[in-house]
Copies of this chain bind each other. A is one copy, B any other.
Amino acid sequence: MALSMEMMRICVIGAGPSGMSMLYHLAKMEEQGKRIPDVVCYEKQSDCGGLWNFDWRTGVDEHGEPIHCSMYRHLWTNLPKECFEFPDYTFDQHFGKAIPSFPTREVILDYLNGRWKTVNAKKFVRLNTIVKNVIHNPDKDNFTVWARDQDDEKDLPPEQFSHIVVATGHYSFPNMPYFKGVETFPGRVLHSHDFRDAREFTGKRLLVIGSRYSAEDISLQCVKFGATNVVCSSRSGPMGLKWPAEIQERPLLERIEGQTVYFKDGTSTEVDVVIYCTGYKHTFNFLADNLRLQTENTIYPPNLYKGIIWVKAGNKRLMYIGMQDQYYTMTMFDVQSFWACRVILGEMILPENATMETDIARWIQRLENVTSFADAVDFQTEYVMDLCRESGYQHNLDVKYLFTDLDRNRKESMITCRDNVFKSKFTGTVSNKHTKPFMDAFDDSYDAFVN
């Protein structure tokens, strides 16, 4: 049943890049003269930006709620900015000049804020407000949301919504498997979620468990900032990347005895610190069980039509943005959001359940053939372009060729891969070189990077 504008109320949960893209498009549609429904976005942090905010705290916040931040100092993006540039708000437009291709955290957050400001997208956001519970009411076919104002330390009255958009990210709740004997390790054991600054590990011997982006980047950062050496252990075998001499790869950890770590191949070594770069869990403790996406980190999670619409309950008015494993990032969230907004406004009609199920099954079946970085980029390019076409998104977001260049650069050398320049698809601008190579650039401030 189509809802009238009066019957619609949208609750967006989370004001990171995904949630803010929802708000951006709604605000933009409003600016363009469309009527939009009532919208509220609850954000537990004290500012918008999601993971792009830095928090010196780890563990829980002042209110006893899990810290969202997995961000650390000296982070440069691991994708060239040309891979996630917004076609309707380019880096040229924001900075007024060419800047390097691998920006630091503050620079990215500044860029995001710039785009949000163009339509005042933050006006819908209620900061320092945590969502505690969401249920679907089958009788009224709507949702009840319980939220809490953390400033006032008071529960808000429960509110009803026609639509829920879950945009809380999936890089905040550590996946931290047990290894035999880890409880006997005398040094620090941490997850990348709690990693804040590589300088904590200067002069230390590290064990890094994992083989994906966090493992790569944290290993490299630690060597850059003076770790004695890093042993990377992973289930999936060597990453096949060229590392500095201080980084060695080993098979999966088998057990720990005091400071000695043993690997599956029978070798062992002594380390001072164990860093789990074992990824994150999709955790939605604020959702009723029948609304919870349960998935591994995959480029096509189950039970989401077009990667967005929850098909199991809630009459297709529960949506998820940005829950995929990501190659495309900001631009993917953006076209997902645009697609979702058009569906909410009734400008696009969802097919029958059976058709949706078939569509999901078709995509998931194709996952079997995805075995390389290039395959995954191909898959996600197709997914993004499918959303572009369906929603009538005004721009072609395909930047597969940039990922190909990135892949080659990474294989040439992890040490130098961030020193390359890329050309913007939308402005033709070639980024300029950073004044220093990545491994020699120790200042990650906005000023050092942009000015």
Contact = CB atoms under 8 A, between A and B. Distances in A.
A196 B190 CA distance: 11
Interface in A305-345: none
A316 to B, nearest CB: 23
Interface string A177-198: 0000011011111110110110
B176 A62 contact: yes
Given A59-B59, A194-B59, A64 B188 contact: no
Interface string A231-242: 000000000000
Contacts of A281: 62, 64
A65 interface: yes
A14 interface: no
A132 B135 CA distance: 14
A423 B123 CA distance: 67
A59 B185 contact: no
Contacts of A359: none
A373 interface: no
Interface in A57-78: 57-60, 62-67, 73
A285 B56 contact: no
Copy total for this chain: 2
B64 A285 contact: yes
Given A59-B58, A191-B59, A194-B59, A64 B173 contact: yes
A133 interface: yes
Nearest to A67: B59
Nearest to A256: B56
A288 interface: yes
Contacts of A176: 57, 62
A245 B394 CA distance: 70
Nearest to A259: B199
A60 B155 contact: no
Contact of A289 (B62, B154, B174): B154
A20 B83 CA distance: 57
A186 B168 CA distance: 28
Contacts of A62: 176, 281
A45 to B, nearest CB: 14
Contacts of A263: none
A197 B57 CA distance: 19
Contacts of A199: 186-187
Contact of A58 (B57, B155, B187, B190): B190
A288 B173 contact: no
A56 B256 CA distance: 13
A60 B56 contact: no
Contacts of A56: 182-183, 185, 189
Contacts of A73: 186
A283 interface: yes
B186 A197 contact: yes
A422 B194 CA distance: 43
A58 B274 CA distance: 13
A59 B193 contact: yes
A449 interface: no
A194 B66 contact: no
A186 B188 CA distance: 16
A188 B56 CA distance: 9
B183 A54 contact: yes
A200 interface: yes
A400 B63 CA distance: 36
Given A197-B186, A200-B186, A155 B289 contact: yes
Contact of A66 (B66, B193, B197, B289): B66
Contacts of A54: 183
Q: List the 8 closest pairs (A to B, CB-CB), nearest first.
A: A64-B283, A186-B199, A64-B173, A56-B183, A59-B59, A188-B200, A60-B66, A186-B197
14 contacts: A56-B189, A57-B176, A58-B194, A59-B59, A59-B191, A60-B174, A64-B66, A64-B281, A64-B285, A153-B289, A154-B289, A187-B200, A188-B188, A189-B196
